[in-house]
């Protein structure tokens, strides 16, 4: 046969055989694993991949910056125990998404960052390709795992591997690299179908060893002043009923970490939130469930923790125990399995802690709550964090199903302590890093996943990191109300310019005074409110939530309200110089 005839014969054969390609296989593999939403930002080489996802029935939420798409994916992962997917273009888009991937890994949120990448041969020889970058290696230190798929027949297994890596064990961020060429590679449809993998049992139960459970219960039973500490791992585990039953049956006072608020309602009689310092310092046995003894808990030592104490730590990661202080009773397993084993262990009874301990807590709690109530009652003019948050708290009390996103310095600290949560996984905040910039990304993710309203309480500085996503919020008509605590600056807006030669400059912490953030959302068709009193704030928030449409409330507060770095002033290094 001549070469020409041979070609024609192949073409005829190909015409008869149904073909598929990398684009279709990626979408088919995601759908096969019940992934129905992608957060991302299109461009070379993934534009058609996004289009295909949409035409194949997936939801594609387009953002203005990849970091926020990544944050949306991460919070979706936290809420659902399924990996949130973020899709980006190569090098710069990938790097923008990488911050979110690193944040997801740090917070133990399951997420997969999928990025297109440039020509392998050129990238590897560093010959200067369009958006050239070795993305797989760049992602490694920030991810739980980092993979590249080079052959279309590996797409099924590659995506299965990424899913399993993200959600099994301690969840985290996974990077998946899709070279442009991979997407146009073809296979017969039959080969393609066979290559797909539906992941069986992606989050396998991990049953704790019975002796570890017994050791923990023995320690707890011997305690005089026991305390339970709930972290966002406990909220993530979705073992809400068993955790509540354990807390209530043992009668042990508990403290929720910020994102564990609402796992039990903050108004619960056993909550020791109102006397946190007292219980941390005084407890003799502390049972930690899905929290790490990191900086947020003073690493389990020092003045915060007062006298000697013993720890029980329930966690899925076997290397978490002893990371900061000795753990007397590690219980390693998934929190659902651990808590049901613990519950079984106390089925025959548990002597609740004595009145000496619970009474001392109750007394302090009442005292501190009364003090806080008095502070909240005040109506200073201009309004401050407290009076504004009183108004917000009272509105949100009527809608316990609402998602709350929260970031800032003082805006974060005060909201966390003043606004109560009543349901699990409804509070999403700066988390393990204390990161700024999660606001609009988390809000979009939470609204899309839950179909319920979101209220984002933002410092004016924190909001700036993701403010452009207001357009995304308006484009998808999401029921998100953003409240900006506007005090004209970072920490506060009242600091002076320190350079006498540059008289027109302003302080390093200052923003434009009297900025009208409410006008920003109006530019995209949303509703803006400008409020200066708690009554106006209350009215605007009530109205915005009821409307279920994009809204922004510019809440003007005293520009000198708040403290530098919120409650983290101690983390600022001290100046050593005596002369400057």
Among 35, 101, 216, 291, binds ligand ADP (CB under 6 A): 291
Judged by CB under 6 A, does residue 79 bind ligand ADP?
Answer: no
Q: How far apart are CA 577 and CA 580, in angstroms?
A: 7
Q: From CA 329, how far away is CA 208, in angstroms rounded?
A: 12
Stretch that binds Mg ion, among 6-14, 343-351, 461-469, 530-538 (CB under 5 A): 461-469
CA distance 148 to 177: 4
Give the residue with the Cβ less far from ligand ADP, 320 or 558: 320
Instruction: Residue 291: name its binding partner from Mg ion, ligand ADP, none (Cβ under 5 to 8 Å by kind).
Output: ligand ADP
* Shortest Cβ 496–Mg ion spacing (Å): 16
Smaller CB separation from Mg ion, 137 or 560: 560
CB of 83 to ligand ADP, least distance (A): 14
Q: In the Cβ-directed half-sphere of 455, how many Cα atoms lie within 13 Å?
A: 29
- Of 111 and 556, nearer to Mg ion (C-beta) is 556
| CA–CA distance, 279 with 353 (Å, rounded to integer) | 13
Tell me the closest approach of the beta carbon of residue 510 to Mg ion, in angstroms: 10
Q: Residue 363 CB: number of other CB atoms within 10 A?
A: 12
Task: Please identify which residue in 31, 64, 120, 170 interacts with ligand ADP, judged by CB under 6 A.
Answer: 170
The least distance separating ligand ADP from the CB of residue 82, rounded to whole angstroms, comes to 13
User: Residue 558: which of 444, 431, 388 has the closest Cα?
Assistant: 388
Which of these segments, 7-15, 51-59, 62-70, 483-491, binds Mg ion (CB under 5 A)? 483-491
Among the listed ranges 136-144, 245-253, 287-295, 480-488, the one in contact with ligand ADP (CB under 6 A) is 287-295
User: Does residue 315 interact with ligand ADP by CB under 6 A?
Assistant: yes
* Displacement of CA 298 from its chain's centroid (Å): 21
Three-state SS letters, 340-389: HHHHHHCCCCCCCCCHHHHHHHHHHHHHHHHHHHHHHHCCCCCCCHHHHH
> Could you give the CA distance from residue 162 to residue 151 in angstroms, rounded to a whole number?
15
Q: How many CA atoms lie within 13 A of 570 on its CB side?
A: 4
Which listed option, Mg ion, ligand ADP, none, makes contact with residue 316 (CB within 5 to 8 Å by class)? ligand ADP
Query: Could you say which of Mg ion, ligand ADP, none residue 260 binds, taking C-beta under 5 to 8 angstroms by partner kind?
Result: ligand ADP
> Considering the rule CB under 5 A, would residue 177 count as an interface residue with Mg ion?
no
The nearest distance, CB 378 to Mg ion, in angstroms, is 20
460 binds, among Mg ion, ligand ADP, none (CB under 5 to 8 A by kind): Mg ion
Contact partners, residue 406, CB within 8 Å, separation at least 6: 412, 415, 416, 427, 428, 429, 430, 456, 457, 458
User: For ligand ADP, which stretch binds (CB under 6 A), given 110-118, 232-240, 438-446, 561-569?
Assistant: 232-240
Q: Is residue 232 within the footprint of ligand ADP (CB under 6 A)? A: yes
**Interacting residues with ligand ADP between 96 and 135 (CB under 6 A):** 107-108
Q: Report the side by side order of strands in the sheet with 403-407.
A: 427-429, 403-407, 454-459, 480-486, 551-556, 527-531
CB-wise, 404 or 557, nearer to Mg ion?
Answer: 557
CA dist 272 and 288 (Å) reads 14
Contact with ligand ADP (CB under 6 A) among 50, 123, 228, 260: 260
* Backbone angles phi and psi of 305, in degrees to 5: -95, 0
Residues that bind Mg ion (CB under 5 A): 459-461, 487
Residues that bind ligand ADP (CB under 6 A): 107-108, 170-171, 231-233, 236-237, 257, 259-260, 290-292, 294, 296, 315-317, 320, 334-335, 432
């Amino acid at each position: 046969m001549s070469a020409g005839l041979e070609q024609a014969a192949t073409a005829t054969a190909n015409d008869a055989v149904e073909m598929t390609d990398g684009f279709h296989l990626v979408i088919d593999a995601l759908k096969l694993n019940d992934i129905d939403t992608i957060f991302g930002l299109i461009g070379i080489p993934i534009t058609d991949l996004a289009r295909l996802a949409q035409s194949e029935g997936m939801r594609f939420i387009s953002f203005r910056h990849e970091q926020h798409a990544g944050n949306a994916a991460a919070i979706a992962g936290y809420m659902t125990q399924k990996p949130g997917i973020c899709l980006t273009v190569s090098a710069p888009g990938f790097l923008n998404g990488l911050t979110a991937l690193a944040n997801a890994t740090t917070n133990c949120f399951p997420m997969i960052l999928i990025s297109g990448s440039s020509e392998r041969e050129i990238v590897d020889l560093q010959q200067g390709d369009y958006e050239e970058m070795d993305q797989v290696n760049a992602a490694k230190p920030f991810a739980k795992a980092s993979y590249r798929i080079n052959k279309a027949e590996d797409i099924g297994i590659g995506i299965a591997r990424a899913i399993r890596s993200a959600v099994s064990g301690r969840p985290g961020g996974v990077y998946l690299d899709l070279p442009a060429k991979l997407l146009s590679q073809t296979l017969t449809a039959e080969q393609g179908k066979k290559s797909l993998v539906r992941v069986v049992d992606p989050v396998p139960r991990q049953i704790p060893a019975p002796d570890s459970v017994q050791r923990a219960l023995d320690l707890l039973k011997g305690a005089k002043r026991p305390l339970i500490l709930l972290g966002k791992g406990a909220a993530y585990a979705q073992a809400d009923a068993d955790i509540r039953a354990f807390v209530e049956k043992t009668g042990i006072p508990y403290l929720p970490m910020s994102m564990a608020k609402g796992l039990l309602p903050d108004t619960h009689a056993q909550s020791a939130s109102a006397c946190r310092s007292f219980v941390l310092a005084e407890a003799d046995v502390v049972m930690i469930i899905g929290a790490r003894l990191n900086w947020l808990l003073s690493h389990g030592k020092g003045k915060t923790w007062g006298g000697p104490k013993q720890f029980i730590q329930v966690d899925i990661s076997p290397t978490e125990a002893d990371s900061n202080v000795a753990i007397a009773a590690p219980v390693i397993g998934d929190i659902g399995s651990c808590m049901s084993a613990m519950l079984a262990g106390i089925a025959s009874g548990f002597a609740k802690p004595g009145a000496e301990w619970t009474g001392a807590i109750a007394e302090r709690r009442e005292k501190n709550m009364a003090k806080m109530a008095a502070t909240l009652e005040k109506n200073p003019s201009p309004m401050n964090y407290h009076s504004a948050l009183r108004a917000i708290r009272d509105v949100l009390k009527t809608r316990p199903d609402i998602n709350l996103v929260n970031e800032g310095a003082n805006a974060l600290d005060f909201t966390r302590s003043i606004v109560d949560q009543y349901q699990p996984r409804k509070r999403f905040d700066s988390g393990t890093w204390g990161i700024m910039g999660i606001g609009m990304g988390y809000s979009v993710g939470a609204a899309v996943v839950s179909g319920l309203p979101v209220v984002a309480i933002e410092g004016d500085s924190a909001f700036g990191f993701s403010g452009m996503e207001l357009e995304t919020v308006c484009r998808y008509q999401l029921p998100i109300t953003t409240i900006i605590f506007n005090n004209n600056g970072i920490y506060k807006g009242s600091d002076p310019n320190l350079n006498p030669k540059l008289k027109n400059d302003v302080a390093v912490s200052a923003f434009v005074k009297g900025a009208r953030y409410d006008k920003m959302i109006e530019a995209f068709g949303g509703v803006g409110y400008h409020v200066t009193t708690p009554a106006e704030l209350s009215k605007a928030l009530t109205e915005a939530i009821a409307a279920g449409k994009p809204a922004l409330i510019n809440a003007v507060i005293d520009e000198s309200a708040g403290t530098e770095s919120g409650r983290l002033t101690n983390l600022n290094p001290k100046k050593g110089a005596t002369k400057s």
